[in-house]
Amino acid sequence: KKDVRILAYESSCDETSTAVVKNGRKVESLIVATQIKSHQRFGGVVPEVASRHHIEVISQITREALAEAGVDWSEIDAIAVTSGPGLVGALLIGVSAAKAAAMATGIPLIGVDHIMGHIMAAQLTAEIDYPALALQVSGGHTEIVLLKDPTHLEIIGDTRDDAAGEAYDKIGRVLGVNYPAGKTIDEWAHQGKDTFNFPRAMMEDDNYDFSFSGLKSAFINTCHHADQIHQSLDKYDLAASFQAAVVEVLVTKTLRAIKAYQPRTFIMGGGVAANRGLRDRMSQEIDNFREELKPKVILPPLKLCGDNAAMIGAAAYNLYQAGEFADLTLNANPSLEL
């Protein structure tokens, strides 16, 4: 059987990334050009700045991805690109680059959903047995997703307001932590204790949805109140208390979904899936399941949790096998729904 080699692009937010992935499993090259520094002084991603950075690097990192994999265009079987969801101007840069390359070379084009990409980072780590269930947690999304096969997803739970990563970034700003704050808050959390007992929203509700805006407000109010009475709070305990609330809600609802749907594989994906507290607690809890109910657990390595093109190449391979190609009318779709 012939190998399938895919060149993939990802430019939905603030990382421009290219990769070559073989057979949806092996990362032959991965380039991630991050623009975080350019956004930090604004405290978040500025769409126009993001688009401009994507344009500046995309041709260069296309050549780098091919060179690092040691292949040329003639060895590429498909060109894949994130077509949404994300920032429209940012998505357009990747989509235009991929379409231009497909047009110039005649290589088939595949459009990939960003959420599907995050989940398929797991495929680069281990084989996924279906049905699978995924917790997809990032700066833009907090979803529980059911996969009956490698190309069909169903969102069974979603956030009603802020995404988990967004909540990390917003409370990080209050604590004076640079954007994106998740990694630092995670580190601080391990040095503090859960002393504030922040609210855990929607835990008892009979659904798989989340809400993080109440937690964020409670956190901000606690800090403002302390400021007013000139009391100083321990930043490590604040971080630990915030993280304990986020992790408890994510884990409780996810475990409930695993028990209800009994997937053969459980996957975590997205930037927040890099969270040590979340990874440890989720693994422990699933480890305690009765043997016959225990799904295989795939937690991708940290560098595949954040935005990257290798995960897009992995997801694109499944679409390639299913014959789901795009044509040159492929457009960026900022609100792509599965």
Q: From the list Zn ion, ligand KG4, none, which binds 319 (C-beta under 5 to 8 Å, kind-based)? A: none
Binding residues: 114, 118, 136-140, 169, 182, 186, 275, 307
Q: Does 307 bind Zn ion (CB under 5 A)?
A: yes
**Of Zn ion, ligand KG4, none, which one does residue 169 interact with (CB within 5 to 8 Å by kind)?**
ligand KG4
Residue 308 in contact with Zn ion, rule: CB under 5 A: no
Considering only residues 30 through 69, tell me which ones interact with Zn ion, judged by CB under 5 A. Answer: none
Site for Zn ion contains 166 (CB under 5 A): no
Decide: is 142 part of the binding site for Zn ion (CB under 5 A).
Answer: no
Q: Could you tell me which residues are annotated as the binding site for Fe cation?
A: 114, 118, 307
The smaller minimum CB distance to ligand KG4, of residues 263 and 270, is found at 270
Q: Which residues bind ligand KG4 (CB under 6 A)?
A: 13, 138-140, 165, 168-169, 180-183, 186, 270-272, 274-275, 306-307
Q: Select from Zn ion, ligand KG4, none the partner in contact with residue 313, using the beta carbon and a kind-dependent cut-off of 5 to 8 Å.
A: none
3-state secondary structure string across the chain: CCCCEEEEEECCCCEEEEEEEECCCEEEEEEEEECHHHHHCCCCCCHHHHHHHHHHHHHHHHHHHHHHHCCCHHHCCEEEEEEECCCHHHHHHHHHHHHHHHHHHCCCEEEEEHHHHHHHHHHHCCCCCCCEEEEEECCCCEEEEEEEECCEEEEEEEECCCCHHHHHHHHHHHCCCCCCCHHHHHHHHCCCCCCCCCCCCCCCCCCCCECCHHHHHHHHHHHHHHHHCCCCCCHHHHHHHHHHHHHHHHHHHHHHHHHHHCCCEEEEECHHHHCHHHHHHHHHHHHCCCHHHCCEEECCCHHHHCCCHHHHHHHHHHHHHCCCCECCCCCCCCCCCC
CB of 49 to Zn ion, least distance (A): 18
| Minimum gap (Å) between residue 182 Cβ and ligand KG4 | 2
Residue 271: CB minimum distance to ligand KG4, A:
2
Instruction: Based on the shown chain and the rule CB under 5 A, indicate whether residue 138 belongs to the binding site for Zn ion.
Output: yes
What is the closest distance, in whole angstroms, from the C-beta atom of residue 258 to ligand KG4 in the complex? 21
The entry of Zn ion, ligand KG4, none near residue 10 (CB within 5 to 8 angstroms by kind) is none
Q: Which does 180 bind (CB under 5 to 8 A by kind): Zn ion, ligand KG4, none?
A: ligand KG4
Chain residues binding Zn ion by CB under 5 A are 138, 307
